[in-house]
Structure 1
Amino acid sequence: MIPAAFDYKRAGSSEEAVALIAEYGDEAKFLAGGHSLLPMMKLRLAVPTVLVDIGRVGDLSYIDDRDDHIAIGALATHRSLETSELLIAECPILAHVASKVGDPQVRHRGTIGGSLAHSDPASDLPAAVLALGGSLIAQGPNGEREVQVSDFFTGYFESALSDDEMLTEIRMPKAPGDSWNYQKFNRRAQDWAIVGVAAVQVQGTTQVSLVNMGSTPLRAAAVEAALAGGASSVEAAEQAAEGTDAPTDLNASPEYRAHLARVLTRRALEAAGIS
């Protein structure tokens, strides 16, 4: 299908982008890599009258070591995450999950900021970021504010960002070593996950998140509580579907997704060496 008509504005800086969004209000949308927004526009599920292109705002594309955390610019591409020596050393689960997004064309254009702001519960990176914890920086007309990752995803394709804010930075805790794993079940390698599970130990605490098991990416709270209480990985994994609201579609029923969540959680915990 063909998108509805829209005006196009290119921002040269994050400040200009925020000013343009403030000028046009909720009729405007940011355009970064475009791999989430443009398909929705073609289906007329999103009908912005103005697109603010931030794809060439160079100061939002970086991956930096900030001592106690890693700072990632919102326009860092999936490919840059996948190949970052810093992430591979200090936060390997994020680099690995980025390598599982779509295909090479998507990874070279898609951005981490776009993926998170789009808030698709079937997307890989939101679940990985949720498992790690950390915070996100939003910039608006009144300056910056910090949002905890646990508070960012508020609903189906909805986030804590206001209409006049843009996501500028992702701050992730360091989680080096081998105690992590990501399991993704899909039909083809480049497809969205039917169900996915990210498991990682951050400062000695096991954190698990689920892909496509509700209207937002979810922390597997029952699994985490079971592990903290001394349960084995097999026992804890049986709790993976607790508190979820898995969708039904052509790929899977809620019951099948619940089964996948239990199986993939067990595999992720065992592969990460978490028992």
Structure 2
Amino acid sequence: MKLPAFDYAAPTSIAEAVQLLAANPGAKALAGGQSLIPALAFRLGAPPLLVDLRKVRELSGITIDAAGVRLGARVRWRDIEDEARLKTAHPLLLAAVKHVAHYQVRNRGTVGGSLAHADPAAELPGVAVTCDAQIVTAGAKGSRTLAAADFFTGALSTELADDELIVELRLPSWPRERRWAFEEFSRRRGDFALAAVAVCYDVDGDGKARHAHIGVIGACLRPHRVPQAEALLNGRRLDADTVASAVRAFEAALEPPSDLHASADYRRSLAGTLLERALMRTL
């Protein structure tokens, strides 16, 4: 299907891109185009202007330092896969990105595009929320830094204003001894997840878990942590019984949607099974 008619601009700076968005109500930013272009083809949108970000070098680059990992909005999935330092700087992120779609999509799709699209089954929003990441935006009214947990407001819905761009994702530093796991299930390799879980926690000198983070993806209307399950891990040595208790609390706290792909009950049970697998892998 042909795309609707639109004007096109390719700014070279964040300031210029923001100015174009502000001056053209309804305009959309274009990065990798893996979500936006299909939406336009299906006439789910008809923006008067596409603001192509491919020449905005400020949005590129992966920075790793003592403060953590910073991903520019134009960083592609393949850039993350190719960054060897992430094997220790943020292995959970690296593991999750390997589940993103297919090679062709990972060669074009971007960090900013995934965050802005906010599909509840997408991996990166879930990792961002699980790891207490921050999302930096730029708009006509200036720059904002939002907690990922507050950024996503629902399925395909965020706090991003029409004249704002996502500039970068900031992930906190990753302790070398942190335990973690990522588990996902989809009907076919590369499909969106019916459910996925991201898990990480630290271990104190007595072998007890602390700072437990458990995030749900797919079995939800927006990615979120599950504090009811986290509380059953913190201060305890993990074993089969502890894991089973956390899984029960996790399932009870979920409110998954039903659709043509899976019922709410199926997604809830599937997410619980994935959490059990993830936690047992960390022992």
**Residue equivalent to 2:88:** 89
CA contact (8 A) 2:178 2:202 kept: no
Partners of 1:17 and 1:95 lie apart in 2 by: 30
Does residue 1:269 correspond to 2:274, yes or no?
no
Higher-Rg member (1/2): 2
Q: CA RMSD in A?
A: 1.7
**Residue equivalent to 2:6:** 6
Greater Cα offset, 204-213 or 160-169? 204-213
Q: Secondary structure at the match of 2:252?
A: coil
1:2: how far off? 2.9
Give TM-score, length-normalised by structure 2.
0.91
Partners of 1:123 and 1:205 lie apart in 2 by: 24
Q: Secondary structure at the match of 1:227?
A: coil
**Residue equivalent to 2:206:** none
Alignment length (residue pairs): 272
CA contact (8 A) 1:178 1:272 kept: no
Partners of 1:256 and 1:46 lie apart in 2 by: 32
CA contact (8 A) 1:28 1:51 kept: yes
CA contact (8 A) 1:132 1:202 kept: no
CA contact (8 A) 1:174 1:202 kept: no
Identity %: 36
What does 1:194-233 correspond to in 2, within 5 Å?
194-201=194-201, 204-228=210-234, 230=236, 232-233=242-243
Does residue 1:24 correspond to 2:24, yes or no?
yes
Partners of 2:161 and 2:52 lie apart in 1 by: 18
Q: Structure 2: where are the runs of 5+ without partners?
A: 204-209
Greater Cα offset, 9-18 or 244-253? 244-253
**Residue equivalent to 1:35:** 34
Partners of 2:177 and 2:6 lie apart in 1 by: 47
CA contact (8 A) 2:68 2:89 kept: no
What does 1:107-146 correspond to in 2, within 5 Å?
107-146=106-145
Does residue 1:234 correspond to 2:244, yes or no?
yes
CA contact (8 A) 1:181 1:269 kept: yes
**Residue equivalent to 1:98:** 97
Q: Structure 1: where are the runs of 5+ without partners?
A: none
The runs of 4+ residues in structure 1 deviating greater than 3 Å are none
1:106: how far off? 0.7
Deviations 1:130-161 (A, max 9, x none): 11112111101232111011111011111111
CA spacing shift, 1:202–1:216, aligned 2, 3 Å: farther
Partners of 2:188 and 2:54 lie apart in 1 by: 29
